[in-house]
Amino acid sequence: MGANDLQQAITLHRPSGPGAPVNPAAPAGPKATDRWSLEAIQALLDKPFMELLFEAQAVHRAHFPAGDIELATLLSVKTGGCPENCGYCPQSAEFDTGVKAQKLMEVDEVVRAAQAAKDAGATRFCMGAAWRAPKDRDVEKVAVLVEAVKGLGLQTCATLGMLEPHHAHQLKAAGLDYYNHNLDTAPEYYTDVVGTRTYQDRLNTLAHVRSAGISVCCGGIVGMGEAPVHRAGLIAQLANLNPYPESVPINSLVRVPGTPLADSEPVDPFDFVRMIAVARITMPTARVRLSAGRQQMGDAVQALCFMAGANSIFYGDKLLVTGNPDVEADTVLLRKLGLNARQVQETSEEGCAA
């Protein structure tokens, strides 16, 4: 790929509209309403690996400062006992994984964890609860947690299951910046993974979150036995949301004994990097988060993911109930790669900027 191809890549994938480009002098391109076909996404996934990474890095550099990495911390505030049967999840009550159901954490416990995360460099704090759909009383309690964490100067995120419209508005009023609700995979493969809800249920919650003015965190999981076309289909679903998510976590399946997907074949590391790259190209202003599965990747694969456009990681030693590289190891890796932790600016716009 030569200089002209590089400029074409930057131009082709640059959205217009408020808040998108870091470099306002660069040419404008497709608007958020332009759609990505499944064929176009598959063509990107099929590109020679080095060309794909070069293109993804070009798009990334056009929209974000070099070396900028967001550090986020995820805390399970209500663990286990979920009635859903997601084949990847150790928190399902249907599977014997050794995870015991626990009550919602107290406010002071969550605040201590959030303060520790901030002290360690995190700028976003996500609270996860193993519910199918929270009840009114659950949302009231989580709203108190959101207010308390927001008071520490952190961006707030929650993942609580399916939301009704009034729940989304209640969380917004409490100060919630982001809501995570992953699509997991392509719609055609969804019933192979989950049988207790529909794909449309997920899309409905995302619509409620958008309507309430909360930024969307939405991605998926690679390595659940899906075919290449399903990986392209997941990216197509995400990239064609209007607007596409502000945060896009790409997870590599953590194979937990006792779950139906425990014996899935590990995803090829280069295929995972390809997913990161295509997420970056198709959603150029999103924070693409290198999420679950990092513990199994090693430093070299993580470095390729950053090269492909990942610019956010979950930071800390645990992701809900599965392992994650510890803070010290992440600090050393980021230093080796010359990457810099992003500093949050406490302004009204910041919650929607990432």
292, with CB counted inside 10 A (0-12, 13-18, 19+), is buried
Query: Which DSSP string corresponds to 236-283?
Result: HHHHTSSSPPSEEEEEE----TTSTTTTPPPPPHHHHHHHHHHHHHHS
Neighbours of 41 (CB within 10 A): 24
Alpha-carbon distance of 104 to 122, in angstroms, equals: 22
**Given 289, 294, 305, 342, which residue is catalytic?**
289
Our CA angle for 96, 84, 313, nearest 5°, is 85
Residues 89, 280, 287, 342: which is the catalytic one? Answer: 89
Q: Supply the DSSP symbol for 101.
A: P
Bridge partner list, 73:
125
Among 14, 157, 231, 342, the one annotated catalytic: 157
218 included as an active-site residue:
no
Is 289 tagged catalytic? yes
Indicate which residue of 14, 217, 274, 305 is catalytic. Answer: 217
Examine the residue annotation and report whether 352 is marked as an active-site residue of this protein.
no
The catalytic position among 82, 202, 274, 294 is: 82
- Of these residues, 14, 86, 202, 231, which one is catalytic? 86
305 assigned to active site: no
The crossing angle, in degrees rounded to 10, of helices 165-174 and 199-211 is: 40
Instruction: Out of 124, 126, 274, 280, pick the active-site residue.
Output: 126
Is-contact 163 216, C-beta < 8 A? no
Q: Give the catalytic positions in this structure.
A: 82, 86, 89, 126, 157, 217, 289
